[in-house]
Every structure is written in structure tokens, then in C-alpha cells.
Structure 1
Amino acid sequence: MRLTGLSRGAVTARVGALAAAGLLLEGADLAPTGGRPAAALRLDPDAGVVLAVAVGRSRSQVGVFDLAGREVAGDTRDHEPGTGARDLMPDVAARLDSLLDGLVAPSAPRARVLGVGLSLPGSVDPASVTATDAPVMRGWDGVALAPYLSPVTDAPVHLDNDTSVLVRSELFGRVPVARDMLVLKASTGLALGIVADGRLVGEGRGTTGELGHTRVDAAGDLLCRCGATGCLETVAGGWSLVARLQEAGRSDVRHVRDLAALALAGDPEARQLLRDAGRHLGEALAVAVNLLHPEAVVVGGDMSTAFDLLTAGVRESLHARAHPAAAWALRFVPATHGEAAGLHGCAALAIDRALDPRAVDALLRG
């Protein structure tokens, strides 16, 4: 009651309504305080499920999660780079349908879906659930995405960009690596989420720090996919590294995942490219470290599968450029959920929205 500012009667009524709706469970009695024994209450993780959809340039992941953020079922598939929303989203919906059907016996009612979390690379508009500037996702800008999922569920669809959900995956349901940290998405593109005092800076805007479009000396006058020249991505983004290998005759490399796999297998050219990319990343990150003094840098995205190799280059360059007071204790850690970080972040987005007081009120009204 002290935390809510509500009367005992109001709290009792609210708890009763939440329990009647199946959202709360009563646990063991708490330590006696001299009055009527008090029981601990907790969210029932099985009160419903959320759906998660993480769409990338050449891979899509879908999953069903309980309200504690645990994955109940999932499916990951590769698709051709450049596949548009009108071709991919019906497949996404069919896969979610199949996952939900697989959770129950035939003819049994489906689990209650409380929301859908969806992510895309680039800038998005959460209000209209559309991509607004996704240069690596041709055929997605301006396409309304929620209607594609309406055959699966009438629950609300929440959209955010891929780096924002990566940050969410680090903050949800656990003590974060640090209260003040940078979260680097190193994949086809390069982006940076900033966490200050445990919260994502700019949350809900549908975009994050465009680290890849920072100018660096090594890029010179190289033309970036954004139309500018001298961007970090032209020397450290996954798309530019893959293009360089393809130009050298490596037709087996189609995605940055292929590059990372080659580097881990000991391919000297791939290893050198990743190490150099790390050095260029470190040059750009040094500015952010000097300004923000983070405690840690969390690294996710497809390049992070070669974490040690990539961050060796980052450390080398960053420590040569950043002020010692800002960088001496800086830690580099891989994303908690690895290649599934985006999917877990989409689930966290959906759970956070489903348990928002306004959403809970709507659920209770029913």
C-alpha cells in the first residue's frame, strides 16, 4: 500500500480482480508480523503467452514465450536476402499458427495470447507498426505489418527496431550486466543502444544510435548504402565485409554469418577482415566511451559469434583512443541470449506491453 498510495480496500479489490483473471498466484505465507498471516503473490507465468517475431535481412525467428520470458516453442529459418514483407509475413504467420497448435492437444483451446513483439532492422514507427527506413530490407518500408498476424491472434502487435529489442533482452527479468552500458549490434549493419541507469535511452522512438553512419578516417570517400561517404559501415559493417570477400571470388560467402563461421574455422582472410573491422569499431566507440563512461559494452548480432576475434580489434583501437579514466575498467561481454537475443527481446517487448497497467485494465474489463 505504501508503494501504490492506495487504500487497503482498493488494493484488496485489485488483487482479487487480478487473481480472478488468472494473472496472480498465491505463494507461501510470509514471515509473521503480529497480524493476520500474509501470503506472497506472484505473477502466474502460465496465465497467457506472447508471440515473438525477429525478422532480419536473411533470417526470421518466431517463438512462443510464457509471461516469465521463457521460450515455450520456436522456429528459425533462413530466407533469401531481399525477401519483401508481402512474401515473408504470411509465412511468419503460418509458423506462429503451427507453434500455437503444437502446444495443445487436438480440439483443446489454444493458449491465451496477450501480445506480439516484432522487430526489424532500421527505423520503424511503433504507432503504425510499419518500417520507415530499413535500407537492408527492400519492400518493407510503409507496409502495415499487423494485418498479416491477425489470422493468428487479435492481440496487439508491438514493433521496435532490432537493436532496441537486443537491449530489452539484456534488461528483462534479470540483473543487467551494468546499470550504465552500451549495447552494440554488429551484423549486416552497425547500431548502438545506450543504457543509462538501467533504462534504454530513447525508448519507444523506433530507432537507436546509428553507429554505422559515423564518419571514420579509414572509410575515406567510400560510398555507403545510405548515400553518404566515409561511414563506418563501409569498412566495418557486415554488408561491406561480405562484399569484399565476394569481390575476391569467395562465392560461398553470402551473409555475415558465413564470414563469422569462416573466421572461427581459421580462414586467414576472414579473420583479418573481422579483426580490422573491430579496430574500426573501436575508433568510433572510443568517442561514446569518453562521453558516457559506461561500465560495459554488450556485443550482439551475427558478428558476435566470433566474439573474441572481433572484440580483440575493438579493445586494441578503443584503448589507444579513449581516455584511460573512461576505459580502464570497461568490460566487453557477449549478448546473454546469443543468436536468439533478438527473439527474447521481442518477447520482453510484448510482455512489458501486456503487463502495462492500461493493458491489464483492458484485460480485466474483458
Structure 2
Amino acid sequence: MLKSPPQASSPRSAASPAPGASEVFQLLRDGRPRTRAELAQLTGLARSTVASRVDTLMTLGLVAPDGGAASTGGRPPSLFALNPGARVVVGADIGATHARAILADLSGRELAEEHRALAIGEGPDAVLGWLVGTVDTLLARGNRPPAELAAIGIGLPGPVEHETGRPINPPIMPGWDRFDVPAFVRTRFDVPVLVDNDVNIMALGERGFHWPEITELMFVKVATGIGAGIISGGTLQRGAQGTAGDLGHVRVPHADEIPCRCGNTGCLEALAAAPALVRTLSEHATGELATSQDVIDLVRSGDARAVQVIRQAGRDIGDVLATCVNLVNPSVIVIGGSLAQAGEHLLAGIREVVYRRSLPLATEHLRVAPSVAGERAGVLGAAVLAIDHVLSPEAIEAACAALSTG
């Protein structure tokens, strides 16, 4: 279940009923029940103000009574907590050849799931057509009316302009360039639609469900491409144009002559991503190799050449990550993506170089760990993306303002 850290409160506004209700809500968002007195103590607000804000949040359905606290004499005080069932969200992870979507409540608890093989190359009409149909299916299976759907989060396997939700020059997504994904989905469901690239949502999913107390985390996806989702100060860092974490096109000195699909030479992706390893191993393999799974199968079978190649890929990735460690100083580096299934050989190569090349202080408590969420990291992160939007201070204040004019 998603464990959300407390978020910063928004500025108080005198225009809405129980102004600043989000300040109280963010304290209840972690699911821990609290009394009005506890909330007053934590916020420094008068009990009457806290009571008014709790009433507003209960009217919105976001907060509900949670039994009673232990009595110190007289009537026990009431407890209040997040009401995770008040709304639902859909998270969708759309990959190069697959699509997966879940229905979740506001705590991240999964209520229903759908997945199928689906090629992103079929184009946005076909892929998003499947998605909107699947949202209907998920709502029906979860026995939730469309009116309770609060947001939809989507991950795509290419660069995304997060502010607009439009893919920008995606290399493996023909027909998707600058396609208005949110507008397409909202023709069927008039709710916020949040779109990001796959590695960013994987970082959100991994952290939200498995490393909730970690504020400095890098999620590195090693598959057909190589990229990273960077969480710093508890916030996903997208960069000015949404391209932060594009490790695959960082230059690796000893790969100068190797061409990359981006048009340059010497990129990490051209040296250590799945297609590069398939090419390298195909030169010596007796059978035909075509996919990352073929590489993984060779490694798992104990093939010495495959083990050597995957270990060296780890070292090459480690070369780039060592610079990242010195720059952003993460506490945890999580390795995911299809090639992470090769096990400790890839991680051993990464650790070998990262710990040798990074500053000692930066690696003193650094953990390099395999993904816990695995192939579900993306769909979980898409749900987190939607939930974080629905429960953000800005969204709570907007709901309170709408309540006053409704």
C-alpha cells in the first residue's frame, strides 16, 4: 500500500470555507488517525479553526471518523483519518509492447487490474482507445461509478512534456509526436489526466511503495534504452524540458566509434543497453539472439561469455552513475528494467565502479539495490502520479473553493 510522506502546506486563503483545509489534510494523509486536539497542536491553530477545517474535509468525503481515542475521563475524543475509499484513480503503464492499468483507491490499494500485449507502434488512437475502454472495465470490476474517478495517470515509453502531457519526438512511438494525450482521454472521462515518461513513473512507484522514507533516490531502467528517474528532496526532478535523467545518451569515452540511434557516437545506450548486448553476444552464440530475454536466459544458464558481457555492461553504467552520485548524492540507486532480471551480475558491475569512482562521503551510506516492484513499478507509479495530484494542497484548496460556490 502506498505510504505518502507529509507534504508542505499551501498558503492560507480567506476566500474558501475553512481556509487552509489542506494544511490539516496533509497531516491526515498518511492514514494515521488523529484527534482535533492533536491537529491543533501540530498546526498551532485554534481548535475551533481545526474543527471547521475537519468538517469541510468530511463534507468533501476525504476525511472520515476513525473510532475514538482513549478517554482520560468523560467522553473519548473523536479520531479522524484519510478516507481512502472516497475516490479512485486509474494508473496506466504503456510500454513498447505491453499495456497495464489498475484501479486504486487514494491509499494506492489496488482494486482491479487489466493488461494485454499491445504495440505502441499501433498509434495513439488504437492504444488510447484501449485505455479508455479499460477504464470503464476497471470501474465496473471495482464496482465504482464514473463519478468517483478522480484522475488518470499514464506512463509512456518516450520523452513527454509533462505540463501538456504530449510526447515529444519519441523514437519508438510513430504517430505520437505532440499528440494531445490528455485531451483524447478527457473526451471520455472529464478528470485530470497526468502523463509522464516510463522511467519517471517507475521511480515514483518504487519509492512510493517500497522506499517511502527515502527522499533522495535514483531509479535506473536498463532495457532497450537506459534512463533514470531522479527524486531529490522527495520530489521528482524532471528538468526544464522534462529530459532529466537521460543517461543513455551520456558519452562513454571508450565507446567513441560506436554509433547510437540518436545520431551521435559513444553513447552509453549504444554500449550497454539490450540491443547492444544482443549484438555482442550474437557474434559468439550458437543460437539466434533477438531480445533482452535471450540475454537473460544465457546469463541464467551460466554462459561464461554472457556473464562477462552483462558484468561489463554494469561497469559501463557504473561509470556514468558515479558522476551522478557525485552530482546529486542519492541515498539509494534502484536498478530496474528488463536487464535487471539478469540478477547480481549486472548490479555487481555497477557497484564495482560506483563505489570506486564516487566520492567516499557520497557512497558512505549509498545502497545500490534491485527493483522490488519489478515490472509493476510503472503502473504503481502511474497511480501515485494521479493520487499525488488529487491530494495535493492545490487540489484540496480548489475543492474547498468549489464547495463554497456549489
| TM-score using structure 1 length | 0.87
SS for the counterpart of 2:190 is coil
The partner residue of 1:194 within 224, 230, 255 is 230
CA distance in 2, matches of 1:206, 1:281: 22
Aligned counterparts, 1:345-364, within 5 A = 345-364=381-400
Letter in 2 for 1:166: M
Q: Which residue of 1 aligns with 2:191?
A: 155
CA 1:239–1:11 in 2, change beyond 3 Å: closer, same or farther?
farther
Task: In structure 2, list runs of 5 or more residues that go unmatched.
Answer: 1-39
| Residue pair 1:117, 1:346 contacting (<8 A) in 2 also | yes
| Residue pair 1:194, 1:201 contacting (<8 A) in 2 also | yes
Q: Which moved more, 1:341-350 or 1:215-224?
A: 215-224
| Residue pair 2:139, 2:145 contacting (<8 A) in 1 also | no
Q: Which residue of 1 aligns with 2:51?
A: 12
Q: Is 1:101–2:137 an aligned residue pair?
A: no
CA 1:213–1:204 in 2, change beyond 3 Å: closer, same or farther?
closer
SS for the counterpart of 1:72 is strand
CA 1:330–1:33 in 2, change beyond 3 Å: closer, same or farther?
same
Aligned counterparts, 1:126-165, within 5 A = 126-150=162-186, 152-165=188-201
Letter in 2 for 1:128: T
Letter in 2 for 1:78: A
Number of positions where the alignment pairs a residue of Structure 1 with one of Structure 2: 363
| Cα offset, 1:136, TM superposition | 2.7
The partner residue of 2:256 within 209, 214, 220 is 220
Letter in 1 for 2:273: G
CA 1:250–1:205 in 2, change beyond 3 Å: closer, same or farther?
farther
CA 1:218–1:58 in 2, change beyond 3 Å: closer, same or farther?
farther
The partner residue of 2:377 within 327, 335, 341 is 341
| Residue pair 2:347, 2:369 contacting (<8 A) in 1 also | no
| Cα offset, 1:339, TM superposition | 0.9
Q: Is 1:65–2:101 an aligned residue pair?
A: no
Q: Which residue of 1 aligns with 2:161?
A: 125
CA 1:38–1:180 in 2, change beyond 3 Å: closer, same or farther?
same
Alpha-carbon deviations, 1:128-181, whole Å to 9, x = none? 221113223232221111233235521110112222212212332665363333
| Residue pair 2:99, 2:117 contacting (<8 A) in 1 also | yes
| Residue pair 2:215, 2:231 contacting (<8 A) in 1 also | yes
Q: Which residue of 2 aligns with 1:305?
A: 341
| Cα offset, 1:269, TM superposition | 4.9
The partner residue of 2:321 within 276, 285, 288 is 285
| Cα offset, 1:314, TM superposition | 1.0
More helix by share: 2
| Cα offset, 1:346, TM superposition | 0.6
| TM-score using structure 2 length | 0.79
The partner residue of 1:74 within 93, 101, 113 is 113
SS for the counterpart of 2:84 is coil
Q: Which residue of 1 aligns with 2:5?
A: none
CA 1:175–1:322 in 2, change beyond 3 Å: closer, same or farther?
closer
Identity of aligned residues (%): 36
Q: Is 1:232–2:271 an aligned residue pair?
A: no
Task: In structure 1, list runs of 5 or more residues that go unmatched.
Answer: none
Aligned counterparts, 1:167-182, within 5 A = 167-172=203-208, 176=212, 178-182=214-218
